[in-house]
């Protein structure tokens, strides 16, 4: 499993398609498929879109064709998926389409590709990087819009999801796995800005007129940490919510998601998984308009309380306040007031041979995740220390939410103003979390822990 694809809400179910490689087929890249009623309990369905004569099925998106603009559903609503075909002969890319009336059985469009390779488009250069279509309905112009990247960001428009007209190219905006969506600022539906996501690693805030995205900010980090990519958001989420998810791994370790590399284990629950779903919002800050990402509220329905502590000090002599906890998947929420200088550490899933360390440095106002003692230092790009700036808020407080799973740590700072995602390899003798001050005295205002199972 890698990139999430075709995220769409249809007939009461959340659909998650994803890049799925069938090891039994050398040309097997296709769309896997799972559905959920609550975003957390997933039912796997058979792969939805398989390779055909045009090539492998690479990343893309899906929409609900509510009014049958495509003419494929007999006047009813259905799902239309737009994806990239990859030609193994020359590695050039084009865009294809598949559709489903029931959300379970998919048929590729007989007239594929709906947008040919760039060398087949009049007036376009022969560039092979042309992939990952993100499609959405643009109400002001009453047209479907497709943002395609892999290289330069190109915009196409359509009346029927089948016939596409070129609208613009942004020569200075290059990414892959793009997403482009509108979000109210500070919850005000009358003040909306557009967000362009660059594969989930960065984003830009700006304007979109139906044909061209105009940035109004520089590139801003969307995530800190190494293991987060190909972020996509759901189409047609109830209540207009903007909910996203990403692949929780990285290609930089020199291994594929389906193999072991130099003894580096790719477990069933990590390296082949997605992040926790988050809800995006835009807020005004002293630095400008910024994106926040918070764990979706549905998450609280699947956890149970384990520990709740009263306010207290955390000093170098303080006993571990988390000593009663076992090394089970945890949702840790820690709110504190840092001193002018001082450091604390939180050790996670550590044993005699491996340890993962989360540190907060009050003087630097920096949260860091240390994977240099986690083992597997021979694997390229795996050992490292990953920093996330996290200053206190206007009230002098820092809020941390830490989701500790079997093979990952996801961290949200100050109600989603900053986030980090890290793949981990627990020690065989891993114990419970250890929270300790190295120096300085931290005022803990609240500390609660819930179990994820």
Q: For position 9, what pLDDT does the model report? A: 98
233 shares its domain with 153: yes
54 burial class (0-12, 13-18, 19+ CB within 10 angstroms)?
middle
The answer to whether 105 and 82 have CB atoms below 8 angstroms apart is no
Does 263 score more than 60 pLDDT? no
Say what the pLDDT of residue 269 is: 47
Q: Which long-range contacts (CB under 8 A, 24 or more apart) does 165-170 make?
A: 166/121, 166/123, 166/124, 167/210, 167/211, 167/212, 168/211, 168/212, 170/212, 170/213
> What pLDDT does residue 104 have?
97
Q: What is the mean pLDDT of residues 216-235?
A: 97
Tell me the DSSP string of 271-291. SS-BPPPEEEEEEEETTEEEE
If asked whether residues 168 and 315 sit together in one domain, one would say: no
Is 293 within 8 Å of 410 (Cβ atoms)? Answer: no
Instruction: Give the span between the Cα atoms of 303 and 450, in whole angstroms.
Output: 6
* Same domain, residue pair 142 and 244: yes
In a domain, 302, yes or no: no
Question: DSSP letter at 395?
Answer: T
Report the CATH number at residue 34. Answer: 2.115.10.20
Range of the domain at 361: 307-451
Of residues 377 and 50, more confidence is placed in: 50
Shared domain check, 229 and 318 = no
Tell me the backbone φ, ψ of residue 198, rounded to 5 degrees: -95, 75
Task: Give me the pLDDT at residue 257, please.
Answer: 46
Among 297, 325, 347, the domain boundary falls at: 297
Distance CA 264, CA 177 (A): 27
On whether the CB atoms of residues 257 and 248 are closer than 8 A, the answer is: no
The CA distance from 235 to 216, in Å, is 24
Structure tokens belonging to residue 255: 């291994």
| Residue 244 counted as domain residue | yes
Which string of b and e fits 92-106 if b means at least 16 CB within 10 Å? bbbbbbbbbbebeeb
What share of the chain has pLDDT > 70, as a percent? Answer: 95
Domain boundary pick from 256, 273, 297: 297
Does residue 103 sit in the same domain as residue 166?
yes
Q: Indicate the pLDDT class of residue 24, thresholds 50, 70 and 90.
A: low
State the pLDDT at residue 261.
Answer: 47
Q: In 3D, which of 157, 195, 154, 145 has the Cα closest to residue 172? A: 154
Contact 327, 426 (CB under 8 A): yes
- In whole angstroms, give the CA distance from residue 265 to residue 249: 12
pLDDT given for residue 138 in this prediction: 98
- pLDDT score at 14: 98
Asked whether residue 349 falls in the same domain as residue 315, the answer is: yes
Q: Does 141 share its domain with 224?
A: yes
**Cis bond before residue 107 (omega within 30° of 0):** no
Are 101 and 171 within one domain? yes
Residue 429 has pLDDT above 70, yes or no: yes
- If asked whether residues 293 and 407 sit together in one domain, one would say no
The answer as to whether 51 is a domain residue is yes
- If asked whether residues 246 and 330 sit together in one domain, one would say no
Residues 148 and 277 in one domain: yes
pLDDT tier at 10 (50, 70, 90 boundaries)? very high
pLDDT exceeds cutoff 50 at 325: yes
Which residues, in sequence order, are CB contacts of 319 under 8 Å at separation 6+?
A: none
pLDDT digits (tens, 9 = 90+) for 37-82: 999 999 999 999 999 999 999 999 999 999 999 999 999 999 999 9
Average pLDDT over residues 356-364: 98
CA R_g for the chain: 23
> What rounded mean pLDDT belongs to the chain?
93
Is 3 a known active-site residue? yes
Which whole number is the average pLDDT over 104-121?
Answer: 97
Closest CA to 152 of 180, 134, 122, 131: 131
Same domain flag for 126 and 266: yes
Pairing, β 442-451 against β 330-337:
antiparallel
Q: pLDDT tens digits, residue range 408-419?
A: 999 999 999 999
Using pLDDT thresholds of 50, 70 and 90, give the confidence band for residue 98. Answer: very high
Three-class secondary structure of residue 346 per DSSP: strand
pLDDT computed for residue 255 by the predictor: 59
pLDDT at 399 over 50: yes
In the listed set 297, 320, 340, which residue is the last one of a domain according to the structure? 297
Q: Would residue 39 count as lying in a domain? A: yes
Query: Which residues, including other chains, have CB under 8 Å from residue 302's CB and lie 6 or more apart?
Result: 38, 40, 41, 452
Q: How many domains does the chain have?
A: 2
Which one of 3, 179, 361, 370 is the catalytic residue? 3
pLDDT in tens, 277-305: 999 999 999 999 999 999 999 999 999 99
pLDDT band of 21, cuts 50, 70, 90: confident
Q: In whole angstroms, what is the distance from residue 419 CA to residue 390 CA? A: 10
* CATH code where residue 312 lies: 2.60.120.560
Do residues 433 and 322 touch, judged by C-beta distance below 8 A? yes
């Amino acid at each position: 499993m890698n990139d999430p694809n075709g995220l769409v809400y249809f007939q009461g179910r959340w659909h998650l398609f994803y890049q799925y490689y069938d090891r039994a087929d050398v040309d097997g890249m296709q769309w896997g498929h799972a559905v959920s009623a609550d975003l957390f309990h997933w039912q796997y369905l058979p792969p939805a879109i398989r390779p055909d004569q045009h090539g492998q099925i690479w990343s893309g998106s899906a929409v609900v064709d509510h009014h049958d603009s495509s003419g494929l559903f007999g006047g009813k609503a259905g799902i239309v998926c737009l994806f990239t075909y990859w030609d193994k002969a020359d590695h050039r890319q084009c865009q294809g389409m598949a559709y489903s009336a029931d959300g379970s059985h998919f048929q590729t469009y007989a007239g594929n590709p709906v947008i040919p390779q760039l060398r087949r488009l009049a007036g376009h250069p022969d560039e092979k990087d042309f992939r990952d279509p993100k499609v959405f309905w643009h109400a002001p112009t009453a047209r479907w819009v497709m943002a395609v990247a892999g290289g330069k960001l190109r915009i196409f428009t359509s009346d029927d999801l089948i016939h596409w007209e070129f609208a613009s190219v942004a020569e200075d905006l290059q990414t892959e796995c793009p997403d482009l969506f509108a979000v109210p600022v500070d919850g005000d539906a009358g003040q909306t800005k557009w967000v362009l996501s660059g594969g989930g690693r960065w984003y830009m805030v700006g304007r979109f007129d139906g044909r061209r995205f105009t940035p109004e900010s520089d590139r801003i980090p969307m995530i800190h940490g190494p293991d987060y990519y190909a972020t996509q958001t759901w189409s047609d989420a109830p209540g207009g919510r903007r909910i996203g998810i990403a692949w929780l791994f990285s290609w930089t370790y020199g291994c594929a998601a389906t193999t072991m590399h130099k003894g580096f284990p790719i477990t069933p629950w990590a390296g082949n998984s997605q992040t926790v779903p988050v809800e995006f919002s835009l807020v005004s800050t002293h630095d400008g308009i910024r994106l926040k990402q918070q764990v979706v509220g549905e998450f609280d329905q699947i956890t149970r309380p384990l520990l709740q502590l009263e306010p207290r000090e955390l000093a170098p002599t303080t006993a571990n306040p988390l000593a009663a906890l076992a090394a089970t998947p945890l949702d840790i929420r820690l709110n504190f007031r840092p001193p002018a200088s001082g450091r604390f550490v939180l050790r996670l899933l550590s044993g005699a041979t491996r340890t993962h360390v989360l540190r907060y440095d009050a003087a630097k106002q920096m949260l860091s995740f240390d994977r240099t003692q986690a083992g597997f230092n021979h694997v390229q790009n795996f050992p490292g220390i990953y920093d996330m700036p996290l200053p206190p808020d206007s009230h002098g407080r820092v809020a941390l939410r830490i989701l500790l799973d079997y093979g990952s740590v996801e961290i949200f700072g100050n109600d989603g103003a900053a986030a980090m995602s890290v793949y981990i390899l627990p020690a065989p003798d891993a114990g419970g979390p250890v929270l300790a001050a190295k120096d300085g005295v931290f005022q803990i205002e609240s500390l609660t822990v819930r179990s994820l199972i």
